[in-house]
Amino acid sequence: QIKLVGLTLLAVLGAYIWFRYVRQTQAFGMFEGADRDALSKAVLGYCATVFGVLVGSGYRCLKQLRETGVTVIDNPKAFVSQLLRSVDLWLGLFGSPIVYLLLLQSSPGMSLPALVTVAIENGFCCLIIVNGFLGQMDQQGARPQPSNHQ
């Protein structure tokens, strides 16, 4: 019953996105197309980033299982439960606003399909991006201060 309601809501959301954005796009290319609704574009882009974080964390969990010799997931519910409790996922979720804001800052005028695609990719690699960004900040903070003594 709940699954049916969830699937119906996803189908309605998908149809809305299709008829609202994708079908009306006449341009082709990453930076072509008019911004009709910047707020919806920003929200959809962030949701795509979170989706990318979820997919990336799931991929890394599966990769860890494979490295331990697991070849079949016997209990998918237990796997999903493990994924939702993984530190990797939560680090990605907490880092996703930084990654998404960096994406928005570096890509003004990007079309919605391009933004969603890049947002999913950035979400998938969210931990790498955040660690690189924070690592640069740590390096800047760790620089020795010049002394005033001559």
Distances (CA, A) of 28 to 24, 42, 113: 12, 20, 10
Mean of the pLDDT values across residues 111-130? 85
pLDDT band at residue 49 under the 50/70/90 scheme? very high
Please determine, for residue 150, whether its predicted confidence score (pLDDT) is greater than 90. Answer: no
Q: Are 49 and 100 in contact (CB under 8 A)?
A: yes
Query: Based on the number of CB atoms within 10 Å of its own CB, is 89 exposed (0-12), middle (13-18) or buried (19 or more)?
Result: buried
When pLDDT is averaged across residues 50-79 and rounded to a whole number, the result is 91
